[in-house]
Amino acid sequence: MQDSCHITVLLVDDNELYRKFLNKVLNKAFNCVVIEVGDPKEASEWLKENMPSLIILDMEMPIMDGYTYLKILRDNDKTKDIPVVVCTSLASVDLVVRLVKLKIMDYIEKRTDPKIITEKLYKVLNQL
């Protein structure tokens, strides 16, 4: 795993309370830099000048859903290899299969306990 102070996580979620919750979980466990944005448009603007170690991407957002944005990320040479963990409250088997085909590292159900989120993210970050 990268030195935690060198890990930058781009957190893309329209729910500010959930972003704050994940930010707290990430900082407590990894002492990393967390960039919070509310939608894929903001994420794209940030990505023009920056490169995160990891993107945590919500699947349900009003402007553009996370699945569509993930496809855009994977079709762009600059962003196609950025590790992505998906957050969703709709973890259906069909959705997970489609996401795996788009090379996600893992997914987190939104009602998951912080300890499980930390374990999942530790495994992901350990692969970087």
Question: Largest alpha-carbon pair distance within the chain?
Answer: 36
**36, 15 in Cβ contact below 8 A?**
no
The structural domains of the chain, ordered by start, are 4-126 (3.40.50.2300)
CB atoms within 10 A of CB 81: 10
Residue 79: predicted pLDDT = 97
Q: Could you tell me which residues come within 8 angstroms of residue 118 by beta carbon, excluding any fewer than 6 positions away?
A: 25, 28, 29
Q: CA-to-CA distance for 40 and 11, rounded, in angstroms?
A: 10
Q: Residue 52: phi, psi to the nearest 5?
A: -80, 165
Residue 54: predicted pLDDT = 96
Per-residue pLDDT of the chain (128 residues; tens, 9 = 90+): 555 568 999 999 999 999 999 999 999 998 899 999 999 999 999 999 999 999 999 999 998 999 999 999 999 999 999 999 999 887 677 877 888 889 999 989 988 899 999 999 999 988 87
Residue 127: predicted pLDDT = 85
